[in-house]
Amino acid sequence: MKKIVPVYSKNELAAFIDFPHDLYKDDPNYVPELFIAQRDLLTKHPFHKHNSLQCFLVYDGEQVIGRIAAILNNSHNEYNHVNDGFFGFFDCINNQETANLLFSTAAHWLKNKGVTEKYIGPVNFSTNEACGLLIKGFDTPAVLMFTYNAPYYADLIENASFSKQIDLIAWNWKGQAYDDKSVRLLDSLQERLKRSNIIIRKVDLKNFKQETKNLQEVYNNAWDKNTGFVPLNDEEFKYLANDLKLILDPDFCLIAEQESKIIGFGVALPDYNQLFKTIKKGRLFPTGIFKLLFNKKKITGIRIYALGVIEGYRKLGIEACLYGTIIKEYKRKGFTTADAGWTLENNDLINKAIIAIKGDPYKTYRIYEKAI
């Protein structure tokens, strides 16, 4: 007999976080999320101060066979003038009845919260966090802050009457297989920008609090036209920035500035998933923390996490300078793989720019929707 249980206790939350580890224990491409990071995301993130979330587990006897979170993102609805609900943290055995039970339970919770329009997912809070269902590129592990799932998930979702909302593209470069034009032109591009008092510099970690405050405005302006975008408030952006500070390399955290005004930035992160993959069930203690501390130099890849320029400063060469500097550092440090994204499938400007430097669109993620 299958039963669905809302998650309230610490033990239930642990079971919710741990379920994917058991589901994917024989999958060589699965990378466990860090337990402490998932716990804090689900309980302590500033998102919870203004929005609502309820996690659910499905049991078959004593065994967990599925999980889902129903998410009411008031910030999304207010910003986009809609009344939508989301599902996220979806994992399930290959069984349609179980998946349907999860989807219907989450939908029922959302309806009781007053949602009347669309039911969207998988989205873990918003597009500012992990989102999208992997539908192409199952042959390699996910890189840092990307989702992973089995191929059968698409059938479970589509058989539950969801349809495509939009696809997200992840890009990859291997070795030196990239167009280095932006590197070769870097000096001349930077000289041209200087004539407009625009410089590219590294983030100042000693002044990180003020840098974060200035970057927030750029972040919220540079992506405001993207489908599903929700601007981050002060607490949410600070939470994100402090998380990234733990793993960022200043050589890959770049700021475009005109007369002390930040007008764009680019951030690439070491692919810590290469280390997380070796940490059993995402537990840092007692031994996982040492794997992180002592093996950082073994990371061979980067993920270009974000690169944006605010309206009015685009097409001046700033984007090319940011890319060129990241590529230059990538080569200097001896990395062998780079990932970028995700990007929206309909963002022709950025997608053409990535194709121009020989990016390979090697993974695709999909966000689904249906009327609730």
| DSSP 3-state of 164 | strand
Q: d(Cα 367, Cα 200) in Å, to the nearest integer?
A: 34
Q: d(Cα 84, Cα 346) in Å, to the nearest integer?
A: 22
The pTM of the whole model exceeds 0.85: yes
Q: How confident is the model at residue 221 (pLDDT cuts 50, 70, 90)?
A: confident
Residue with tokens 């939908």: 107
Q: What confidence score (pLDDT) does residue 1 get? A: 84
Q: Looking at this protein, which amino acid is placed at residue 255? A: I
Q: What confidence score (pLDDT) does residue 225 get? A: 67
Question: Which of these ranges, 167-171, 177-181, 196-200, has the smallest mean pLDDT?
Answer: 177-181
Q: Looking at this protein, which amino acid is placed at residue 57? A: L
Nearest one of 123, 42, 133, 56 to 84, comparing CA atoms: 123
Q: Which percentage of the chain shows pLDDT scores above 90?
A: 73
| DSSP 3-state of 297 | helix
The angle that helices 10-23 and 35-43 make with each other, rounded to 10 degrees, is 130
**266-305: pLDDT as tens digits:** 999 999 999 999 998 898 876 777 777 778 889 999 999 9
Counting beta carbons within 10 angstroms of the beta carbon of residue 340, is it exposed (0 to 12), middle (13 to 18) or buried (19 or more)?
A: buried
Angle at 330 between CA 327 and CA 333, to 5 degrees: 150
Q: What confidence score (pLDDT) does residue 224 get? A: 66
Q: What confidence score (pLDDT) does residue 184 get? A: 86
The answer for residues whose C-beta is within 8 angstroms of residue 234's C-beta and 6 or more apart is 216
